Structure 1
């Protein structure tokens, strides 16, 4: 009995390899890459806005969006007569982050080539990334807020999140907490539901300023004070 033949026969017409190639081809266009990068800020964008950021005519935008939709990279949300587009999920954001890291930081170089403003602090879909995020993660580890490996918050960590006002979702189907490898720092920052809750808190308390369409995060004067007091991050 040839197990390889059985496995091959059981595969659907669109094999894993073909599906991967289709996704790669969908990404492999400068205009579509520009759209995907814009959607990394976590917002929903209109086709007109995406055509502007990609620098293409509105008449050609629908074809690009259809390509991204058909390959599961984005979703279309309808509200009344308006249509909005956003990334299909955190996994797609993670894929794009990885591609950015491979492109900007060649494996042969030990020196980060990430633009300084992005390396300092940026959003990664729904959580914070960059140098500041790594420092926050290190603080949480040192203070015992995280279980070994960063798979969950400790009781002390949950208490501190409650004290800060970071609302966790006990019914979330995603990971409650996880260690995400930061592609610019090559160290871990906080992901999962806890990471999203922390970024939401920073926004609600106006500790950060984010320009729509850009991933760069700027800490306000209040935010810098909070980073020092709450997370021991000096001179953010």
Structure 2
């Protein structure tokens, strides 16, 4: 009876693989032997016996000496010339010696600086009064304001706030624009306020004083 072999148990088919594995192992062992021999030769060679190593002498570093500065020769005392300055010194300062002469020393008084700027009030006991009252003031402004043509054509409207001062004589002074929507409207409002007639001045403790005011001038197109 002939014995049957299975294909997975037949080693003849794997002969080439075993041969390649053995060849790789042999080649690796040869390379390892060469590497081991070259490293051992390098480590065994002493460094001191290298014929190509030469002793280099170190040149000492020298610093140049700094030049010595000659000290000035002392001047003999007999050669020093003393100049006698006979020019009199004028001393305009008073003599404040510690000796008591018995005479009083007059110290000039400092002139006090006078502030000529009058004080401006914002609220006083009796406020300034426009001739005819507040209603007459509004009527005066409405009658004397001329709407600027350029603003009327462009449809510019709004309120111009003008501040001014009613002085001790009741005159309107220091008028200026505080807020305005347009420069042309500001010019017209400032012209009207500056031309206001004389007011009854305001009073504080029965004394006429300067009082500040702010009035809105309303520009409206009909």
TM band (smaller chain) = under 0.3
Bigger Rg over Cα: 2
Q: TM-score normalized by structure 2? A: 0.19
TM-score of the two chains, using structure 1 as the length reference: 0.18
